[in-house]
Amino acid sequence: MKKLVASFLYILVLLALFTVGTYAWFFDQATNTDNIIQIGNLKLSADVSTGLEGFGSGEDAYYDLKAADLVDIKSATSSIFDFEGRVQPGDTMTRYVRIENVGTILMGYRFEIEVEEDYMGEYIEFTITPYSSLTGLPLGSAVTLKGDALALSGNLYRNELGLDQTEFDLIRIDLKISETITNDYNLTTVSESAFNFDLVITAWQADYPESEPQ
């Protein structure tokens, strides 16, 4: 009896294996491989010089910061507006700033003054003029703002449309001690009061205006 049962089970196993081996189900498949998502980066380069100069020739000619006295604002250890002493009415200083997108993301930015001490603020004038890298000439009208107005508005210059990778803007900044300053500032003793300010360049994702830091 045991042999009969064992034989019967063996036959069932063989039938099962045979049945599985002879099925031919239809199937189809689509595979899309190598999907890769890489993160970009947002990075600005900010340099300053006392002037512009031409580079290249013909169709490849362009204007950029004068290389002889180029300073990287990010790593600068001294102020870029340094009169090397005390000023007087009528004194001026000119600097050219290059703001470049050295990342991969379309970059919007703003260039602003953060006023720490507003002494003489209404007599400190900033004139801002965008320049063309193709011609080395002004791109538009200059805008003049006084120090005390800057303390309220904050923005010296802004580019909301954005710079693409390797693109750059050239901005001329003229700083002037106005001749209209009153004799009230002609003190009988030397004053330690000063107009103290920081230059700040802030970048954000131009495709997403809401990413602009406040």
pLDDT digits (tens, 9 = 90+) for 170-214: 999 999 999 999 999 998 899 899 988 888 999 999 999 999 998
> What would the mean pLDDT of 64-76 be, rounded to a whole number?
93
State how far the Cα of 192 lies from the Cα of 176, in Å rounded to an integer.
20
Q: Is the dihedral of CA 139, 140, 146, 151 positive or negative?
A: negative
For the chain, which residues make up each domain, given as ranges? Answer: 91-131+139-211
Q: What's the pLDDT at 114?
A: 85
> What would the mean pLDDT of 135-162 be, rounded to a whole number?
83
- Residue bearing the bigger pLDDT, 1 or 107: 107
List, for residues 78-137, the tens digit of each pLDDT value: 899 989 889 999 999 999 999 999 999 999 999 888 888 888 888 999 999 999 999 999
Q: Give DSSP secondary structure letters for 122-142.
A: GGEEEEEEEE-TTTSSB-S--
Q: What's the pLDDT at 115?
A: 84
95 and 193 Cβ atoms separated by less than 8 Å = no
State how far the Cα of 160 lies from the Cα of 140, in Å rounded to an integer.
16
Q: Which CATH architecture group holds 91-131+139-211?
A: Sandwich (2.60)
Which 3 state secondary structure label does DSSP give 93?
A: strand
Q: What's the pLDDT at 20?
A: 54
Q: Token match 């081996």: residue?
A: 21
Which 3 state secondary structure label does DSSP give 147?
A: helix
